[in-house]
Structures are given as C-alpha cells and as structure tokens.
C-alpha cells in the first residue's frame, strides 16, 4: 500500500462524499473509521494534499481513549538506508506506567514518496502501517515522531495515522512546522502554546531542564492537555518519550540487520 489509506476517488473531480456515515455512537472500538486500503502506487503531490484535507476534517481533538489511564503506549519511528532508497519502520509497545517493552515490530519498504514538508505522512506512513499490522497487542495510544495538528492543514503524520488506525495518536517533533519556534520556561514540565491562526494547535514542552523543547500536538482522539501529560509521563530521563526512543532504536537495528545500510 502507499499508505494514505484513502481510496482514490473513482468518481471524477471531487464528486460527493462517502455513502452513509456509520451510526453515531460512543467511541468505536474495533471499528476503523476509514478502511485502510492498499494502493498500487503513491499519490501525486496534488492527490496527497487532497487526501490530507479530507482527513483533516476527521481529526478529533478530544480524549477518546479505550482505557484510561492507558496501559499500553506505542512509539513509531523510521530510519533510512544510507543511500536513501529504503525506509525501515518500527513500532514499539511499552507497558504503563513502568514503560517495560512488551511488543515490537519492524518493516522495510522502498522509499516511494519525496520529503515534502507538510506531506511527511505519505513518506513514512506506509512503512509504519506495515509494522503496526504485525503487532500482537493493541496499544491504547501511539506516539509518532512528527506533528499532529501543528501542521498547515491541521493533519500531520500523527493525525493521519491516528485516523487510519482509529487509534489515539500524539505527535512529538523536534522543531515547529509552519510556525515560529517558541521557548517554554527552563524547568521540566514548562509549556508554551503554539498557535496556528486563532487556534492552539499544540505546544512546546520542556521534557528536561537544560535541553531543547519538543513540539507536542494531538494527532487524533486525544486532547492537547492529555497529550502533554502522556509525553511528560513517558519522557523524564531523556528529551524524547521512551516509546519513541525504543521505536527509533529498533528501526535502526532493523536497517542494520537487513544489511542494506
């Protein structure tokens, strides 16, 4: 699959929406809000932007967690071969609140989409979905290395995957995107809101004193407040949350094993 998970409108132009919406009800559990389909080829940049706008409308910025407090938190990240032709995705699942690793899966794919700020999900999303599908566990939350709603269209990698998987998702990035950098207080736990227009899209968070801030934003099915809480709860010794560190390590390890560095 190419990873966008949306069906190419077999209808010409922009046509109409889907058929009937599923009946409203309390937080769907096993249901996926959108069918995760396989694509024959990656979307064009225009198609990607179109898909992103459709997904943006489905982002839920409220807490809709399967269990709270969450018991299983996953981290997802990717690594690339040195020649940049292959991408390795890894998802690590940690138990809470001890953060003990309970599951991890990796996947490899050829890189099929360019790095375009704002369209990151189309580059790393596919391989992360591949890894996710192999999990034996069902995480309550997934943290992605990238942005959620701190995004020009309000739909970064974390929102995109959160919607496709219908799983609460959080985006944690090292730098802002489309907004000026802001500086929280110097103490761990200090935060500064990041605005996009009139909305608070996310916030800069100091996870460790004396270390650069990280940018946290809701991806899907979670509030900004809860997202920040989860990030601080999983990132104390290091700047980045532990699930993300674990995923990164495994992605790099997968690359080494595959012997295509």
The distance of closest approach from Cβ of residue 18 to DNA in the complex, given in angstroms and rounded to an integer, is 24
Whose Cβ is closer to DNA: residue 221's or residue 239's? Answer: 239
Interface characters, 170-209, with DNA (x: CB under 7 A): -x-xxxxxx-x-----------------------------
CB of 122 to DNA, least distance (A): 8
Q: How far apart are CA 103 and CA 194, in angstroms?
A: 33
Count of other CB atoms within 10 angstroms of residue 175: 12
Show the beta-strand stretches assigned E in 128-176. 141-145, 169-173
Stretch that binds DNA, among 16-24, 28-36, 114-122, 190-198 (CB under 7 A): 114-122
Angle among Cα 242, 247, 250 to the nearest 5 degrees reads 125
Which range binds DNA by CB under 7 A, 16-24, 92-100, 117-125, 225-233? 117-125
3-state helix, strand, coil in the chain (%, to 5): 25, 25, 55
Provide the total of helices (H) and of strands (E) in the chain, helices listed first. 5, 8
Task: Please work out the total of residues on this chain that contact DNA, with binding judged by CB under 7 A.
Answer: 30
Distance CA 36, CA 129 (A): 9
Which of 17, 237 has the CB closer to DNA? Answer: 237
Cα–Cα distance measured from residue 8 to residue 162, given in angstroms and rounded to the nearest whole number: 19
Judged by CB under 7 A, which of 56, 78, 92, 93 binds DNA? 78
Q: Point out which residues bind DNA (CB under 7 A).
A: 77-80, 82, 84, 115, 117-121, 145-147, 151, 156-158, 171, 173-178, 180, 252, 255, 261
């Amino acid at each position: 699959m190419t990873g966008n998970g949306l069906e190419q409108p077999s209808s010409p132009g922009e046509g109409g929406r889907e058929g009937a919406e599923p009946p409203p009800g309390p937080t769907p559990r096993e249901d996926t809000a959108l069918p995760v389909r396989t694509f024959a080829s990656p979307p064009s940049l225009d198609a990607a932007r179109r898909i992103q706008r459709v997904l943006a409308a489905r982002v839920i910025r409220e807490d809709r967690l399967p269990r709270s407090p969450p018991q299983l938190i996953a981290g997802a990240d990717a690594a690339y071969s040195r020649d940049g032709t292959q991408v390795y995705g890894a998802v690590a699942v940690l138990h809470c609140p001890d953060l003990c690793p309970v599951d991890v899966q990796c996947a490899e794919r050829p890189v099929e989409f360019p790095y375009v700020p704002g369209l990151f999900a189309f580059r790393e999303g596919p391989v992360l979905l591949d890894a996710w599908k192999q999990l034996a566990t069902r995480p309550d939350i997934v943290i992605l290395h990238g942005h959620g709603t701190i995004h020009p269209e309000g739909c970064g990698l974390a929102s995109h995957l959160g919607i496709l998987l219908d799983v609460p998702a959080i985006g944690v990035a090292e730098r802002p995107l489309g907004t000026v950098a802001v500086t929280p207080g110097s103490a761990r736990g200090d935060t500064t809101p990041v605005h996009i227009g009139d909305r608070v899209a996310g916030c800069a968070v100091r996870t460790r004193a004396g270390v650069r801030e990280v940018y946290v934003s809701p991806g899907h099915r979670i509030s900004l407040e809860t997202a920040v809480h989860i990030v601080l709860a999983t990132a104390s010794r290091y700047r980045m949350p532990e699930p993300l560190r674990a995923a990164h390590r495994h992605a790099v390890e997968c690359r080494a094993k595959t012997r295509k560095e």
